Structure 1
Amino acid sequence: MKINKQFVDELEFPNIGQKIYRDCEITGFCVRVTPNSKTYIVDKKYNNKLHRVVIGSSNNISAAGARKKAQIVLAQIYSGEFVSKSKNNDAFNPLEITVGAALDIYLNKNAFKPKTVRQYNKYIDLYLQGWRERKIFDISKDELLNKFLDTSEVSPSSANGAISLIGTLWKYMHVLYSTDDKPIMKSNPVDIIAVTVGWNKIAARERHLSQNVIFKYYQAVIGYFDELNLEDTARSNTHRDIILFVMYTGCRRVEACSLRWENVDLENGCVTFDDTKNGKRHLLPLGDHLISVLKSRFLLKENDWVFPATKLPTAWNIHATTIDRTLKRIGEEVGFYVSTHDFRRTFATLCNLLRFNIYVTKRLLNHTAKPRVDVTGGYVQIPMEELRFSMNMIEAVYQQKIDCFNYENVWNQRLQELKKAG
């Protein structure tokens, strides 16, 4: 294959490791793809010696530009004139590191999720335009403060994120390359924000299904109907069932949409999320109603996904990715629009109203605290039976079998339910 812009743009990031794609025209010209980056390289064995030379990230150099540089490097290799930077002590100067290069180094040395990588690149390309080629140790406090103030007028949260990223990259490069022999005698310019204007205060989002809308919304979900319901296939009720799944479990949208049947244990009534936000496998028991929903879907199973894509043949083996259209329709019917993450906020709210132990709530939401912050949490082990009972209580709230909004009686009601279960 010929390495060009279209080819590189269409390459998918691997989950682990790296893949090297070789150009069909120039022997030795390649693009290396890791979970976080795409980098043009020269990978050529000549005279029994392997030469692997980094040309640059696809974010910093075009495919055409990389091709020309590769030809120059290969010509030097063939003529014996090429000198590796590792052998030339004066070739690398940390003070010459650009913001773009610093970002590449940072991403390559850390296993970030693709979404995080996209967000970091968005900060640089959208809110810090022209800074990718700036030398990171040349950025002054004044210009950084001005950039923060200008960006804050457009988006306070993005200003926080973009400037914080610069601070992180600056510190990372300083720790990585400043040595006792060759110290980098500079201070992090981002420190100016905290001691002058301060970081933007971002109000926490509060939207969720409150008492005056939760039951009406739930009934609208249960009664949701679209043209796919007429089919007796794996695509039937897909969007409705995704919403139910997120409402009942409080999981994230991507975790529900990308759930595979191999991670569903119908016999024991639980699911396992492998690719979670905190990187830890999350084993979650399910309530009785959700188990019955999944059993019905399993009877119509046609591929690997619990929730297959609805606009493509199931033979393509692709999972659903979005339910925005369904959420909009239900929102119009109920007169109240919510996002999938608002269901997670609702789930946490119900856990609190039902007086769940804080460690039960954290376990259900897959929230983990660092050991130094919460030593006790590391010792607490929660039985699966208690988690499953808690999930059934969440379902019971939606089904109006438990009134968690009656604050005076909810605890007594919970004790009675626990006695019945025990």
Structure 2
Amino acid sequence: MQVTLSDTILRNLIKNNDGNRVSLTDSKTKGLSVEVRRASATFYLRTAYQKRSKRITLGQFPALCVTDARKLCAEHKRQFVLQVHAGVLNTNVDMRFDVYYEQHYLPWCKSYRRTYSSHQSLYKNHLRDRFGSVVLSDLSSRHILGFVNHLMQKGYSKSFINKSVQHLRSALKRAEELCGADTHASLYKPFTLLRCNPPKERFLDTDEAKRLRDFVAANVGDAVCLLIGFLMYTGARRHEAFNAEWQHINLERRSWYVPLTKNGKPRYIVLNSRALTVIGHARALQNQLYTHKPQWLFANPQTHKPYRCIHHRWSRIREQLGLDGMRIHDLRHSYASTLVNNGATLYEVQKLLGHARSATTERYAHLANHRLQQAASLIDKAYE
């Protein structure tokens, strides 16, 4: 938003800030902007030099007032024109993509991102060979568009391509912060992502659910089958069940503590009788297999560590039971749909699934239509 910046405006914005970042540009000085946060405001100058976009941090308010920030902008622009101020031009930072990614971005991801392994995998499998030798300041949206076409020809899904593009653009935009490297001006313009079809949601019907329940009950000596049953009866996310530990199970309170969820916060999962039965079978199986009690509920007998992938086993089970198109994550959807179809409110489903936002749970609202029809039929009874 463009306004005529003043010290008074910035003081009021800092005082009334609710935690969200507010960005303003100055109508008097071209390129001058300020980002206001909960307890501070920072001035920036964005300008173009040799057809490359450059953002310079000027300082924080109130140590630097609006008048001084405008003067500093003018001085920086003058030095650009004269090309005598090496500190402003910063011409000595012009590195290759692979050097930036390996020496600066990946170490940052290891400290600040829970998905470090995903970033590392994307770089090794897709980004390094294609962009490794490209200088950061030359890597533009044109290169990214070529990357999209390349992945499309390889047959990758649109959702994967969009995620890869978002990751790449985010990594490039952070280059100035991490190492002071210049980036191409086109990266700061909107980039159109591929249009994806809404994700398909698969639910177990009554017969399918019965076949899967019977299969789990008949194979209690198989840790993978018990893990599948546990996912079915708790609605937990896959990684939550894979990493479930005995120390987090409270049988007396019928609860399971998950220390780290998808949104980075811990939560408690209520355990029903069927889930407790699976836990009992898991304990009995481990008593047979191990002389010591493993740390995890569903330890891999070969590695004595949590399972990391059960896709091949699940594919065989799915084919054997006739569960075409059923993914592991769809067991979570089936758990939610069963709750809704049997009278649970969307609020209750949200809490049981651990959704941070109610909007995520709204996807199951259409399953409760029969309850709305029953409520609407009360009018018929009233007017008889």
* Alpha-carbon offset, residue 170 of structure 1: 1.9
Alignment match, 1:277: 262
Cα pair 1:166 1:190 within 8 Å, conserved = no
* Alpha-carbon offset, residue 131 of structure 1: 0.9
Structure 1, unpaired ranges of 5+: 1-87, 230-235, 378-403, 413-422
Moved more, 183-192 or 208-217: 183-192
* Alpha-carbon offset, residue 265 of structure 1: 0.8
Secondary structure at 2:164 match in 1: helix
Residue 138 to residue 309, structure 1, CA distance change in 2 (3 Å):
same
Residue 238 to residue 406, structure 1, CA distance change in 2 (3 Å):
farther
Residue 137 to residue 347, structure 1, CA distance change in 2 (3 Å):
farther
Alignment match, 1:349: 337
| Separation in 2, partners of 1:411, 1:294 | 38
Structure 2, unpaired ranges of 5+: 1-85, 288-292, 362-366, 376-384
| Separation in 2, partners of 1:105, 1:405 | 50
Cα pair 1:152 1:158 within 8 Å, conserved = no
| Separation in 1, partners of 2:331, 2:318 | 13
* RMSD between aligned residues: 3.7
Could you tell me the percent identity over the aligned residues? 19
Match of 1:213 among 208, 213, 231: 208
| Separation in 1, partners of 2:302, 2:171 | 41
The residue identity in structure 2 corresponding to 1:187 is A
Residue 142 to residue 252, structure 1, CA distance change in 2 (3 Å):
same
| Separation in 1, partners of 2:249, 2:117 | 30
The residue identity in structure 1 corresponding to 2:347 is Y
Alignment match, 2:196: 201
| Separation in 1, partners of 2:282, 2:343 | 32
Matched, 1:106 2:76: no
Match of 1:318 among 279, 284, 305: 305
* Alpha-carbon offset, residue 305 of structure 1: 1.9
Alignment match, 2:273: 288
Task: Provide the aligned length of Structure 1 versus Structure 2.
Answer: 273
The residue identity in structure 1 corresponding to 2:234 is T
| Separation in 2, partners of 1:347, 1:308 | 24
Match of 1:169 among 156, 168, 171: 171
Alignment match, 1:244: 229
Match of 1:360 among 348, 353, 357: 348
More helix per residue: 1 or 2?
2
* Alpha-carbon offset, residue 267 of structure 1: 1.5
1:151-197 superposed Cα distances (whole Å, 9 cap, x missing partner): 2232233322222222101221245566xxxx958524374632xxx
Alignment match, 2:245: 260
Secondary structure at 2:185 match in 1: coil
Secondary structure at 2:171 match in 1: helix
1:197-219 superposed Cα distances (whole Å, 9 cap, x missing partner): x4342541323313452223322
Please give the TM-score of this superposition, normalised by the length of structure 1.
Answer: 0.55
* Alpha-carbon offset, residue 325 of structure 1: 4.7
Cα pair 1:124 1:131 within 8 Å, conserved = no
Alignment match, 2:153: 153
Residue 311 to residue 126, structure 1, CA distance change in 2 (3 Å):
closer
Residue 319 to residue 98, structure 1, CA distance change in 2 (3 Å):
closer
Alignment match, 1:189: 187
* Alpha-carbon offset, residue 295 of structure 1: 3.3
Cα pair 1:145 1:192 within 8 Å, conserved = no
1:205-247 superposed Cα distances (whole Å, 9 cap, x missing partner): 3233134522233223323x3xxx6xxxxxx332221111100
Secondary structure at 1:336 match in 2: coil
Cα pair 1:216 1:334 within 8 Å, conserved = yes
1:306-329 superposed Cα distances (whole Å, 9 cap, x missing partner): 1121335xxxx4233443454234
1:247-305 superposed Cα distances (whole Å, 9 cap, x missing partner): 01111222212211111111211111123222211211100222233234335543222
Moved more, 336-345 or 210-219: 210-219
